[in-house]
Structures are given as structure tokens and as C-alpha cells.
Amino acid sequence: MEEKKKKTKLPCLLPVRCVLFMVLFAVGSCITGKELRDISHWWTIVATIVNIFTIVLLVFAAKKNGMTYGELIGYRKGSTKIRQIVLMSVLILVLGTGGMYLAGFLCYGVIPYASPMMIEPIPKILAILNFLPLPVTTALAEDGLYLGCGVNHIENKVPAIIIPAFFYALQHCFIPTLPDGRYVLYRFLSYLPLTIILCLYYHKKRNPVPVMIGHALIDMMTVSWVLATSLNPGFYEMMINM
């Protein structure tokens, strides 16, 4: 009974990433004396920091509830087939890109639309060093939190899908954090269809591996753009003027 009671507290962690992103960007703005928009291009570095904190938090929370991180997310060795990974990766790419373009049209009246700040250059050395850590830690942190603490520990099917999917999408509204209502709505709508499907898939299959690998691959595409613009700033100018 006590173990079950502890486990039901895990969904309370779902908003933590939203709060962390807002706090870190606010602190960064205060420290640098710059507006939030002027430090938005640091989102990849901030995301990796938040990811590492989230992973540590998940490991600690799992241990406190008598589990390992693997048990928290329902990992089962040898239960994943290559076909599942390929299909999930394609699904994430299609839904992620489609959701972003549709949200861009609804909020900005432009297709295709993508936020220029998401591919702004950062110092070359940081772009290189962060190329692998960002997608890997993002999959472990986000899917660990929203699938492991959310879908796995909310009893009824509909809330177990909708609540984690809501916070899964909501966190993207603060990566980076900007005081712009239309931008927040755009980011939320971009990711909500995808997060609902991911939570629905996981609720049915209870296998996090295809989701995590597909998630890491699409994030690697994003960080590749940041790396490209950081190594060649002229490429960024070309992209935003297209």
C-alpha cells in the first residue's frame, strides 16, 4: 500500500521541466542584462542542462520508489524490433514536421514556418560538444518523465494519455522562454498532436525504446541545423532569408 501511494506521487513531477526552463532563462537574462530574446539562441545548452537535471531527478525518484530508471520507464531487454524503431522514427518525423508547419500556418499564416531562433548560431566549440549530448539526454529525460512518471503512473487511460501529453507539449513553449503569447501558442500546437500519439502508443505497447530512439533522431536533425549555422554563420543568414 505504501509503495503504491509513493508511485502515485510521480505524476506531480510532470510540470518540473516547464518551471526549470522558465527559471533558467529568467536567471540568464538577469545575469547577462539582456532581454530574453537576445539569449534565446542558447536554448540547446539550456536544454542539455535541464535534461541532465531531469535524468538525475528521475533516477532519484525511481530509487525512492524502489525501482531503477529502467523499471520506471518499463524497459524490457530484447523486446524491440528494428521495424518498430523505423516506423516510430518516420511517424515522429512526419507528425513533428507536420505539426510545426500546421501550427505555423495557424499562428503566423505561413507554410512552411519554423522559428529562426531555433537554428541561430552559438559558439562553435559548444555546438560541437553539444551535438550528441542534446538528443541523447533529451530522449532519456523527456520520455523518462512523461512516459515513465506520467503514462505509467496515472491509472485511468484517458488522463494517463492526455495529462502527460499536455505537459510534454507545454514544456516546448519555454524552449526558449519568450514573453510572446503567439509564439507560446505556436510551440504548444506544434507538439501537441505528436505528444498525444506518443503517449497513446506507449500506453498500448509499454515499450519506450522505439519512442526514445525516434525522438533522439529527430532532435539530432534539429541540433545538426544549429551546428551547421554555428560553423558557418552565413548559412544562417541564407536560411532565414529564404
Residues 6+ apart with CB under 8 A from 92: 194, 198, 211, 214, 215, 217, 218
The whole-number pLDDT of residue 234 equals 81
pLDDT at residue 182 in the model: 95
pLDDT reading at 28 higher than 50: yes
48 CB-contact burial (10 Å; exposed 0-12 / middle 13-18 / buried 19+): buried
Spell out the domain ranges in the chain.
Answer: 2-240
Please say if the pLDDT value at position 6 is more than 70: no
What confidence tens digit (pLDDT) does each residue in 33-79 have? 999 999 999 999 999 999 999 999 999 999 999 999 999 999 999 88
Output Rg (C-alpha) for the chain, integer angstroms.
18
Q: What is the pLDDT of residue 172?
A: 97
Contact status, residue 142 vs residue 17, Cβ threshold 8 Å? yes
* Long-range residue pairs from 224-227, CB within 8 A, at least 24 positions apart, any chain: 224/131, 225/118, 225/119, 226/44, 226/118, 226/119, 226/120, 226/121, 226/122, 226/127, 227/127, 227/128, 227/131
Distance CA 198, CA 101 (A): 19
Amino acid at 232: N
pLDDT digits (tens, 9 = 90+) for 81-130: 999 999 999 999 999 999 999 999 999 998 877 788 888 999 999 999 99
pTM across the whole model: 0.92
The reported pLDDT for the residue numbered 235 is 74
pLDDT in tens, 195-241: 999 999 999 999 999 999 999 999 999 999 999 999 987 877 776 66
Residue 131 reports pLDDT greater than 90: yes
Q: Would you state the pLDDT for residue 8?
A: 61
Which one, of 48, 13, 38, lies nearest residue 179 by Cα? 38
Q: What digits encode the pLDDT tens for the residues 167-201?
A: 999 999 999 999 999 999 999 999 999 999 999 99
Comparing CA positions, the residue from 44, 177, 218 lying closest to residue 123 is 44
